[in-house]
Structure 1
Amino acid sequence: MTEHTLTVAGVAVDTRHWIGGRRVASAETFTDVSPIDGSVIGEISRGTALEAAAAVAAAKAAFPAWAATSRAERARILHAVADGVEKRIEELSIVETTDNGALLRSHRRGVMPRVAHNFRFFADWLLKLEHEDFETRGHTNHVSWDPAGPSVLITPWNAPLMLATWKVAPALAAGNTVVLKPAEWSPLTASLLADIAAEAGLPAGVLNVVQGYGSEVGDALTSHPDVRRISFTGSVPTARRIAESAAGNLTPLSLELGGKSPLLVFADADLDLAVDLAVEQYDNAGQVCLAATRFLVEESVAEEFTRRFVEKAATLTQGDPRHETTDIGPNIHPRQLEKIDAFVQRALAAGARAVIGGHRKDTQYYAPTLLTDVAQDSEIVQEEVFGPVLTLQTFSTEEEAVRLANDTRFGLAATLATADAERAERVTAQLVAGTVWVNCFFVRDLQAPFGGSRHSGVGREGGTWSFDFYCDVKNTVTAPNGWKNHG
């Protein structure tokens, strides 16, 4: 072990940046704290404009060779990265649980296998990426996807490695080089990913990892003139700052932002299913951008729905996310916990009623909360809390349900519970959302478009949409019979 290596639950993690195929330390560090118990994990290299410039320069230098690498070879290396992830699922799982507090059992069974799948999916999609040639007055049109160049990927803390690789995998598959800036509250698995990628044979400079604060290193990355694409997942205020930073260079952006998604429960719905869907919104301590945090329930079944919800929620176990029986872990940081509680206390002061919860459990955990008697124009209904806090309102008609569902500035997702197929078709057609789930939740396929409407984002990624973003899409038109015969 060296001064730049942490041991996290028995796993060695390098605390330095990964730039141009080597580890680079910064003069300053920032403190990484575990949300499980508030203990200090260690000191992490704190990037500045200096490290940002070095990372972009490394990505720029590596770009021509990586862009010229055949699709088959790029795909082979991405599959090798997936192999490396699968060999280290246990290590990645325990490090990420320590770092961001999400359930260890979820990391082992779902999240880390999905990380490997991200690489495999985009490697395979690359090999079949094509558009059928078409004719225009005898001329042949041929569509191709040209790598765009160095890409800056800025990722959140709620699902650090999965959401990072959701961006890294298609960017690399497209032939771009990458500078990854993980969230400062959960940087550790990004460092491990750099090791895995290097071991898989990814050339130096193709993937770079720079840690630190957005105001110190993020701005330097997003304003850099050599950056050709920026993809960001996070909050609306940060997205505005990134957009302003990128505007000077007209750098294309993909933004997946906040949500205030509704769960619409109609009287004809299977109430047991609806309650299961509702309780699922406490997943990851409510720190899920897609969560349906606003319950809209038809008046005639609202009382029964609420009774069953309270009973079901009472069976959840909140505590140490490393324990197999835990259902809800801690919130990421004391600052986030304070923000969550401030939202709830302001709502209670304004007349809301806490059916369950409504308070902190301690300095790391917030009690699962359901608030009723909330006005549509209230802060708690309109603004993203990003914690285990849900609201319940009622409606009497389908038209009212749609109106309430659409009456926020967001449009990331929506969930609908009904037994009427025609109603489902009518309602989903009117909902403003990038994803709508009918009688299910969180069913995600990488070939589907993903993104938000309104303040929930700009653009779509997934399948071919990812390559459309990370590439310069070119159309080549060739005249008929224009070739000389060189015999």
Structure 2
Amino acid sequence: MVSQTNTNKTDRRYESKTQDIAQELIKSTRQNSNIFNRMREQMRWDDKILDWTMSNPGLRVQMFRFIDTIPALQSKTEIAHHFQQYMSAEAVELPNALKGILNFSDPDSFPAQTAAATITKAVETLAYKYIAGENIAEVIKTIDRLRKQGMTYTIDLLGEAVITENEAQDYLQRYLDLMEQLTQKAQTWKRVEGIDLADGEDLPQVQVSVKLTAFYSQFDPLDPVGSKAQVCDRLRILLRRAAELGAAIHFDMEQYRYKDLTLAILKELLMESEFRSRTDLGMTLQAYLRDSYQDLQDLIAWAKERGHPLTLRLVKGAYWDQETINSEQNHWQQPVYNQKAATDHNYERMTQLLLENHEYLCGAIGSHNVRSQALACAIAETLKIPPRRFEMQVLYGMGDKLAQALVKRGHRVRVYSPYGKLLPGMAYLIRRLLENTANSSFLRQNQENKPIEELIAPPIVESTDTDSVTSSKPSTHPPIPFFNAPDTDYADTKRRTKAEEALSQVKKELGKTYLPLIDGEYQETPNYIDSRNPSRETELVGQVGQISLEQAEQAMNAAKSAFKSWKATSASERAEILRRAADLMEQRRHELNAWICLEVGKIIPQADGEVSEAIDFCRYYASEMERLATGKNYDLAGENNRYFYQPKGIAVVISPWNFPFAIATGMTVAALVAGNCTLLKPAATSSVIAAKLTEILVEAGIPSGVFQYVPGKGSEVGTYLVEHKDTHVIAFTGSREVGCRIYAQAAKLQPGQKHLKRVIAEMGGKNAIIVDESADLDQAVVGVAQSAFGYSGQKCSACSRVIVASSIYNAFLARLIEATKSLNVGAADNPSIQMGPVIDPQARKRILEYIAQGKEANELALEMSIPEGGYYVSPTIFSEVNPDDTIAQEEIFGPVLAVMKADNFAQALSIANGTDYALTGGLYSRTPSHIEQASREFEVGNLYINRTITGAIVARQPFGGFKLSGVGSKAGGPDYLLQFLDPRVVTENIQRQGFAPIEGAE
């Protein structure tokens, strides 16, 4: 937070003048009537929508959701149908006028069609209050009008969601064309003092605003070098052409995760000799970010070194809701201020700092808050800042009267003017509507005639708005609550550096030998296998000892011996070992990420998510066991009934290679914390990672014999342990074939066996995503591509089928193909890569056989070239796939996607449910009835709506399916540990000779 000294300094130097100017400006904005002062019966529908949403929060949410959907709908019938669904939500109190137009039962009827036309027209009218035009011709008309009003402009292209390289190239070309056409038009303008002339100096008559992420579809803070190279290549083209045309370029700021990389790229690019002397360029900072003041200080120092001033646009920020939600979901520190007053206060500090350094950074004050603009005017007039170095900015359609009042005072006003089609502009429109209707919005408060003295008073920041963090650490006081571990934020340079250093260090440790752990001792074995890096097949990750059957028996005997004492160990002591293991995993996070990356070919961010999941399993199951250990009492007069749990005995965990750390950890620690002695037999291709888990459990204090690491051949050692008479629980994750075999083997009663074995088996899926006609295609295309090709399609939750409404099938497929083409395929330890190798040559061979089958029966929509030296398979898309085709029915476990067509939603659900599996599924839709129907009828264990279908989070999304996807309860859920426990009841008759203690009696 800002020191009191700074606050007082601002008040003393500029406050009196700020108050005078603010009084003048605010009175000017209230001179004419506004929508709140019109007679209600004279209001247009677009005005009514704003009026209603301001007075009814429930209606506001549903109305904005509906507006977001409109551009995707294909007919008036669909619009009417969706309008009725959104407005019929329970939380919505409808005004009488809305009830009137919703009074229809058939969306094909004339009243419904009339309602659709009315509301569509209202939304279009609303949109074009904030959008300068659909095309350049309309934009030029808008510019001509602004210039007549004494204002200048900057033009922004709507549709910043660039998800393909074609779109990135198109974005660049559209800006080149835009500058060309605006420059031609500018030749007809007479230069106007204040707009085109300042201090006797010509100002650029053309200015455009651009977003860096739109110049490269794979823009990623994890890959600063690759992102910078791609973006700068295109920015140089833009900057050179702008110089030839005499146009100015301003660089916008976007979401927080892109901020540091955006600033780093611009600082480096604009120091190049070719661009260093340019003064017709600008950057943006957002004052709602807690670190924005420091960023401004850093930019001033950089600008001093550069030696040529740039423009700095100061805004408050447009993604507050998104940033707070994102940080809460990821358990990261909130990057934004929680109070509006804190943002306003920081904005004022930054305004002062910026304008007091106007010789290095020209100030562009972007705000619709009269006080914010008045303070800037007061500082500029007090310091006599030259007009060239100071201007005010407003958004098109948002601060018209304030802009006019500022022009009247003699200030240059620039109007930020987006243009484009309604569909790509919808996200922008919703942001503007949210800003206009928020209770804290200055515009709203001014329109509602809040007392001027309150509106222009200095912002008062409550002391509670500190640098809060959504806690990810458990309380130290019992009972210990569970909090999910946050994934690494690779936008943070320090964390990214740690990741790079860990990867470099682990590479120096490759090739070591790893031995089994039996009865607390690492033992030599008769055989060893090589674990190789699937990204570079010649690179040895490590050699792993394979136990013999004699050693397997030795491990089983050690477990039996340790069970008596481990069973008697309290749940809290067992839980504490898990928590220590979780802490060790957190300490070794970057190292573990590197091992996962190198041994199984998983890119670092996905490896990081896996480590978070492993940490969560430890902490969550620790808390769950402590909860279960309290048992339950069912007492009544004369009788006590105690319900409690005891461990089953010996657990055999057979873990997979595709989540070699998270799943191995989850199954192992669940068995251990429940009091079972546990033998971990990992997949051969991920045995080094399992050895690292072993190191952690030993360091955390697991007793000898309680946990044992027993790598070995599945068909020999695995079968031996599964069939052993002393095995009580088998926890397995892997293929359907092996899982079914284990299930059958475990069902056989062995000589001397006195119990029935419990099998917990997760066996994969043939997962589908449905995309209906109301879906947000930007979101759907990205989500399907990530779900299908993340970790080369080797997640059991991966999307292998996408079922698309026939009306949008071609558009979706074309964009999906281009989005997939834009993925970088290569070695998983290269930060530019989005898709790495498959696990081994056998997997590659099997996947290629499926692709060959697909080529015979289906239409190949995409196959890409791939690098050499590793087990690479192209991301492959087949189109026009029939539901019964092999590639639509059998689990391929690779980057192969079948795209199918559905004529209606019922058919889409039927296709989705038409396999042997029921693991995960997804739906991209903005149709409430489809979402509700899918929730009921989509036969999957985990259904994800309007998001990717991979990446379940412990406790939030317990994971597991049914049908042939597996048997057992959901991992990371409240009943998972019950599978490792036997419940018992002890009943005691406490009557003695007809009397019994009565609770509470004296």
Choose which of 555, 567, 570 in structure 2 pairs with 1:67. 567
Distance 1:348 1:62, change over 3 A: same
Please state if 1:452 is matched with 2:961.
yes
Please state if 1:22 is matched with 2:521.
yes
The corresponding residue for 1:89 is: 589
The question of whether the paired residues in 2 share the 8 Å contact of 1:11 and 1:95 is answered with no
The corresponding residue for 2:772 is: 266
Deviates more, 1:352-361 or 1:368-377: 352-361
Q: Give per-residue Cα distances to partners, 1:260-310, cap 9 Å, x unaligned.
A: 011011111111111121011211111010112100000001111112212
The corresponding residue for 1:229 is: 729
Distance 1:261 1:141, change over 3 A: farther
Deviates more, 1:119-128 or 1:359-368: 359-368
DSSP-derived class of the 1:187 partner: helix
Shift of residue 117, structure 1, vs aligned partner: 2.2
DSSP-derived class of the 1:465 partner: coil
The corresponding residue for 1:115 is: 614
> Which residues in structure 2 correspond to 1:188-203 (within 5 Å)?
188-203=688-703
Distance 1:78 1:379, change over 3 A: same
Please state if 1:464 is matched with 2:977.
no
Deviates more, 1:226-235 or 1:31-40: 31-40
The corresponding residue for 1:251 is: 757
DSSP-derived class of the 1:293 partner: strand
The corresponding residue for 1:317 is: 824
Query: In 2, Cα distance between the equivalents of 1:136 and 1:449?
Result: 36
Shift of residue 474, structure 1, vs aligned partner: 2.2
The question of whether the paired residues in 2 share the 8 Å contact of 1:66 and 1:175 is answered with yes
The question of whether the paired residues in 2 share the 8 Å contact of 1:47 and 1:216 is answered with no
The question of whether the paired residues in 1 share the 8 Å contact of 2:665 and 2:693 is answered with no
Query: In 1, Cα distance between the equivalents of 2:677 and 2:537?
Result: 36
The question of whether the paired residues in 1 share the 8 Å contact of 2:941 and 2:962 is answered with yes
The question of whether the paired residues in 2 share the 8 Å contact of 1:151 and 1:176 is answered with yes
The corresponding residue for 2:365 is: none
Query: In 1, Cα distance between the equivalents of 2:939 and 2:889?
Result: 15
Q: Give per-residue Cα distances to partners, 1:42-78, cap 9 Å, x unaligned.
A: 4321223222212211211111111111121111111
Query: In 2, Cα distance between the equivalents of 1:85 and 1:35?
Result: 24
> Which residues in structure 2 correspond to 1:400-439 (within 5 Å)?
400-439=907-946
Distance 1:300 1:67, change over 3 A: same
Shift of residue 329, structure 1, vs aligned partner: 0.6
Shift of residue 79, structure 1, vs aligned partner: 0.9
Query: In 2, Cα distance between the equivalents of 1:220 and 1:345?
Result: 37
Distance 1:120 1:359, change over 3 A: same
DSSP-derived class of the 2:609 partner: helix
Deviates more, 1:329-338 or 1:96-105: 96-105
DSSP-derived class of the 2:667 partner: helix
The corresponding residue for 1:290 is: 797
Query: In 2, Cα distance between the equivalents of 1:154 and 1:411?
Result: 22
Q: What's the % identity of the aligned pairs? A: 31
Query: In 2, Cα distance between the equivalents of 1:266 and 1:481?
Result: 67
Distance 1:14 1:147, change over 3 A: farther
Distance 1:446 1:104, change over 3 A: closer
Q: Give per-residue Cα distances to partners, 1:126-169, cap 9 Å, x unaligned.
A: 22235654468985544322111110000111110111011112
Query: In 2, Cα distance between the equivalents of 1:453 and 1:482?
Result: 51
Gaps of 5+ in 1: 1-6
Query: What RMSD over aligned residues (CA atoms) do the two structures have, in Å?
Result: 2.2
The residue identity in structure 1 corresponding to 2:881 is: V
State TM-score, norm by structure 2. 0.46
* Larger-gyration structure (1/2): 2
The question of whether the paired residues in 1 share the 8 Å contact of 2:632 and 2:644 is answered with no
The question of whether the paired residues in 2 share the 8 Å contact of 1:99 and 1:185 is answered with yes
Query: In 2, Cα distance between the equivalents of 1:335 and 1:452?
Result: 27
Shift of residue 477, structure 1, vs aligned partner: 3.9
> Which residues in structure 2 correspond to 1:332-343 (within 5 Å)?
332-343=839-850
Query: In 2, Cα distance between the equivalents of 1:147 and 1:158?
Result: 29
Shift of residue 338, structure 1, vs aligned partner: 0.7
Query: In 2, Cα distance between the equivalents of 1:400 and 1:222?
Result: 42
Please state if 1:127 is matched with 2:626.
yes
Shift of residue 463, structure 1, vs aligned partner: 2.9
Query: In 2, Cα distance between the equivalents of 1:314 and 1:139?
Result: 71
Choose which of 149, 157, 164 in structure 1 pairs with 2:664. 164
Q: Give per-residue Cα distances to partners, 1:346-391, cap 9 Å, x unaligned.
A: 11112x1121117765451111111012222111110011111101
Please state if 1:104 is matched with 2:604.
yes
Query: In 2, Cα distance between the equivalents of 1:54 and 1:371?
Result: 51
DSSP-derived class of the 2:917 partner: coil
The residue identity in structure 2 corresponding to 1:111 is: E
Q: Give per-residue Cα distances to partners, 1:69-92, cap 9 Å, x unaligned.
A: 112111111111112212222222
Deviates more, 1:477-486 or 1:39-48: 477-486
Query: In 2, Cα distance between the equivalents of 1:137 and 1:246?
Result: 44
The corresponding residue for 2:278 is: none
DSSP-derived class of the 1:11 partner: coil
Query: In 2, Cα distance between the equivalents of 1:147 and 1:411?
Result: 30
Higher helix share: 2
Q: Give per-residue Cα distances to partners, 1:226-251, cap 9 Å, x unaligned.
A: 11100100011111221222122331
Query: In 1, Cα distance between the equivalents of 2:992 and 2:878?
Result: 71
Deviates more, 1:313-322 or 1:330-339: 313-322
Distance 1:224 1:467, change over 3 A: same
Query: In 2, Cα distance between the equivalents of 1:255 and 1:138?
Result: 44
Query: In 2, Cα distance between the equivalents of 1:477 and 1:317?
Result: 64
Query: In 2, Cα distance between the equivalents of 1:177 and 1:464?
Result: 21
Choose which of 879, 887, 892 in structure 2 pairs with 1:372. 879
Query: In 1, Cα distance between the equivalents of 2:638 and 2:903?
Result: 59
Deviates more, 1:227-236 or 1:352-361: 352-361
DSSP-derived class of the 1:231 partner: strand
Distance 1:265 1:475, change over 3 A: farther
Distance 1:413 1:67, change over 3 A: same
The residue identity in structure 1 corresponding to 2:977 is: F
The corresponding residue for 1:3 is: none
Identify which of structures 1 and 2 has the higher relative contact order when contacts are C-alpha pairs closer than 8 Å and 6+ apart. Answer: 1
Shift of residue 311, structure 1, vs aligned partner: 2.3
Query: In 2, Cα distance between the equivalents of 1:420 and 1:376?
Result: 24
Please state if 1:186 is matched with 2:695.
no
